[in-house]
Amino acid sequence: MVTSRESRRATIRVDDVSSAIEYCYEAGWTDGLPVVPPTVELVDAMLDAAELDPLTVIGEHVTTRRSCTAHAAAANAVMAGCLPVHFPIVVAAMKAMSKTGFNYHGSTASTGGSSHLIVVSGPIIGEIGMNATGNLFGSGNRANAAIGRTIRLIHLNVFHMQPNVTDKSTQGNPGKYSLCVPERSDRNPWPLLHEEFGYPDDSIVVVFAAGGFHNVENHFAATPEQALLTVADSMSCLDSLTHGQSVVVLSPETAEIVAADTSWTKSRVLDFLFENAYRENAALQQIGRPTDTEEDRSQYKFSNDALKEGLEERYHRGLSAEDILLFVGGGDAGAHSAFLPSWSRGRTSIMQSEVIKPMKKVR
């Protein structure tokens, strides 16, 4: 799927909606599920809402030398089920993933099967009705589902990352269908992500090439230490223990337990998680995993130099507390939090962010 001035003027005519849906299947434009036929009117409404020229490049896949224009993104957004108010998030996510540190190609082609997580923070969440509460990572909300699905359709249709052809994922990942979640603000005891990133009045996206989803559950935890040690244990599980980055989504119930003691600032929580998310070298050696070199150990950053004692016998998740993206999300009830590790075995993909440009005001 490419965009040129000629292709913009070319239309495909079919007899009815059912025929249009089948045409999309035959053209290879779907992710296996039916798509909304991308009519000229729907695509133009998407572009108009974002005030973008159709030929503006908003994303690039450097390795394949393919670019994603606003028109191609809008067509895929229509097919995914987006409304025009959702499109600015798609545009921001594409720009963020195209930044050099993200390693767009590697994270879409690898056997590791990463899914591209889009985290949304800021007032746009309420404005477009995203779901930050129960079933956060599940189905049921159009904005969450359609925005995440658009990214996957762009991978397939614009960058040609096709399963078993250019996408070499060994077992895949359900997040490859869609993985877009907003931060929950009303139960968050700490500064929100868009505030942390320096945009208190704007909305942002943070993109992350994520490995498999870990459910972190401890209904017996009654103190901050008990709750956070459970999270740190999940972060240090041997199957995904690397120096890569992490996303931790605390449930409101768990966040309430931690923040009941006001000395537990977000900074302190992040330090605690990093400092406790480690395994002894003996455990790594038992499964044939390499341990840290002296150079690796020199890159660690701790809140207290005393924590470096015995470091030659430990392997930590990430290199510092700054490698953890922490926010609150999910339903009011249940001590179920989430940990998503980085896709790569090292630090070949680093999360990126982008400010969401406000949508055109419709009079």
Higher pLDDT, 6 or 297: 297
Angle between helices 142-157 and 70-80 in degrees, nearest 10:
130
Q: What is the reported pLDDT for 4?
A: 56
Q: Taking CA 154 as the corner, what is the angle to CA 142 and CA 3, rounded to the nearest 5 degrees?
A: 120
pTM: 0.95
Q: At 6, is the pLDDT very low, low, confident or very high (cuts 50, 70, 90)?
A: low
103, 209 Cβ separation under 8 angstroms = yes
- The proportion of the chain whose per-residue pLDDT surpasses 70, expressed as a percent, equals 96
72, 157 Cβ separation under 8 angstroms = yes
Residue that has been written with the tokens 């690039």 in this structure: 60
Query: Could you tell me which of 338, 294, 342 has the C-alpha nearest to residue 318?
Result: 342
List alpha helices for 113-189, DSSP H. 124-128, 142-157
Cα 133 to Cα 130: distance, rounded to the nearest angstrom? 9
- Mean pLDDT for 20-40 is 96
Q: What is the reported pLDDT for 15?
A: 85
Q: At 306, is the pLDDT very low, low, confident or very high (cuts 50, 70, 90)?
A: very high
pLDDT digit string, tens, across residues 227-258 = 999 999 999 999 989 999 999 999 999 999 99
- Average pLDDT, whole number, for the chain? 94
Does the pLDDT of residue 5 top 60, yes or no? Answer: no
Q: At 77, is the pLDDT very low, low, confident or very high (cuts 50, 70, 90)?
A: very high
Q: What is the reported pLDDT for 362?
A: 47
Angle between helices 70-80 and 87-97 in degrees, nearest 10:
120
Residue that has been written with the tokens 């994520």 in this structure: 210
Total residue length of the chain: 363
Q: What is the reported pLDDT for 61?
A: 87
> Coil, helix or strand for 173?
coil
